[in-house]
Structure 1
C-alpha cells in the first residue's frame, strides 16, 4: 500500500479546497516546492499533485511549478488536472512525471482514453470522483450520469491498471472514508484501487490497510496535523 501526500496547486500556491469548492480554499504555502520538500523530509517517496486551475480550465496551467517540484525533490510524482490531450500529457512526461491522472477524459471520451492507454500503458491512472452518487468532472464542477461501479468495470476492461476513488462529499471534511463504497469497488474490480477523501486519522489508515486498498492519498489531515506522515508511512508497503 502506497501513502501519497496530496499537493494541490492553485494560482501557483499550495492550497486545499473543501469538497472541491473553489471558493472555499485554504492557502498552506505560497511555494509548493517547500511543501513537497517537507513531505520528502518526513519520508514520502510519492506525491499526488493536482493542478486545480488546469482541472477547471481544461488545459495545462501550473506546469512550471510542478516541474520545479520534480526537479528539486526527485520524488515519484503522479499528476492530474486539465490534461485532456496527448500533447499536454507528453509535456508532463518530459519534465519527469511518473504517472498521469485522467478524470474528465475517462468519463467523456472512451476513444481518447484508449489512445492514452495505447500510448502510455500502465502510466495512466483514472480518477473516479463521486459526488452525490454520480461521477463528477471538469474540476468536480459538473456531474455526469455515470456511477462508480459500472464505470470502474468499464475502465478496467479498457486496460487501465489503477483507479483513484474519491468521495468528494468527504474531501477536506476530516470525517472518514466511505468504507461501503470502497468495499464494493474492491469486490467489483481486480485492478489497483487508490483511495482519497475523508482520511483523518491513523485508525482509518489501519482499516484501509485491512481492506487491502493499494494506496491512500492524504491531504487536509496532513496539513492540519491530525495525521503524522512519518507514523502513517509505517503502514506503507
Structure 2
C-alpha cells in the first residue's frame, strides 16, 4: 500500500446506526453527527479521496454490528474506503474486501492472532491496516478497554514483517479531545518501519495536520475537528499540498 501524496482522511465512526465521535475512546462519551451516508457523501463532495469507516459497536462487542450502514456508504460513494471495527476473522475481512472495501483495519484480531495478517495479505496484498491504538504508551484492544503490554514500535515491526500494508496509529490519550497532537510517537513509528503510518487522535487545527505530516505520517484521520467545523477539509488539504 502506498500513498502518492499525504492524505487527510475524514472519519465516519458509526454507533447504533449514527455517526458518533468518542472522547478518549470512552464508550458513552460520544457526540452524534447524524446519518452516516449523509456524512460520507458530504466528505466526498468536499474532496475526500479516502474515507475511514469504523463500526464502533463492532469494536466494543467483537462482532460487526453496522454492516448495513457501511454497505450503504459503499453504494453511495466512489472513493477509497478503509473499514475497521469488529473484524475478527479472515472471512470477515474477505467479505468486506470482496464487497469493495480497499483496506480492512485489524486491531484486536491482529494482537490475538497475528497470523491473520499474513493470511489475508497473501490473498489481498497491501489490504491490511493494523491498528495500533496506544494509551499511556501501551497498545490497547477490545475497543481500547484492555491493555496488551505491547510497545507500539515493536508491534509495528512485527506486523510489517507479517505483510501489513500500513499501520494506523491512534493516540487514545488525546483522541476526540481536540487538544492537539503528540508527534513523537508518530515520528518513532515512521522511522521504525518502511510501510505507511496513518496517524489519528487529537487533531484540533490545520497546524496539527501539518505537524503529523512533518513527523513522517503518510496520512491523517480526522473526525471531531471536521465535524465541529474547526477547519474545512479543503483547508487541511491545501495546507499539506
Of stretches 6-15 and 221-230 in structure 1, the one that deviates more from structure 2 is: 221-230
Q: Normalization by structure 1: what TM-score? A: 0.95
Please give the alpha-carbon distance, in whole angstroms, between the structure 2 residues aligned to 1:5 and 1:138.
23
Residue 33 of structure 2 aligns to a residue whose secondary structure is strand
Matched, 1:113 2:117: yes
Asked if 1:21 is matched to 2:45, the reply is: no
Match of 1:90 in 2: 94
Q: Is the 8 A contact 1:100 1:125 kept in 2?
A: yes
The Cα shift of 1:93 comes to 2.0
Deviates more, 1:199-208 or 1:60-69: 199-208
* 2:136 corresponds to 1:132: yes
Residue aligning to 2:180:
176
TM-score, with structure 2 as normaliser: 0.94
Q: Give the Å deviation of 1:117.
A: 2.0
Number of matched pairs: 236
- Cα distance in structure 1, aligned partners of 2:240 and 2:130: 22
Aligned-residue CA RMSD in angstroms?
A: 1.3
SS at match of 1:122: coil
Unaligned runs of 5+ in 1: none
Offset at residue 155 of structure 1 (A): 1.0
Counterpart-to-counterpart distance in 2, 1:131 and 1:209: 21
Q: Is the 8 A contact 1:15 1:28 kept in 2?
A: yes
* Structure 2: distance between partners of 1:46 and 1:206: 18
| Superposition deviation, residue 176 in structure 1 | 1.5
Per-residue deviation, 1:236: 5.4
Is residue 200 from structure 1 mapped to residue 214 from structure 2 by the alignment?
no
Unmatched segments (≥5 aa) in structure 2: 1-5
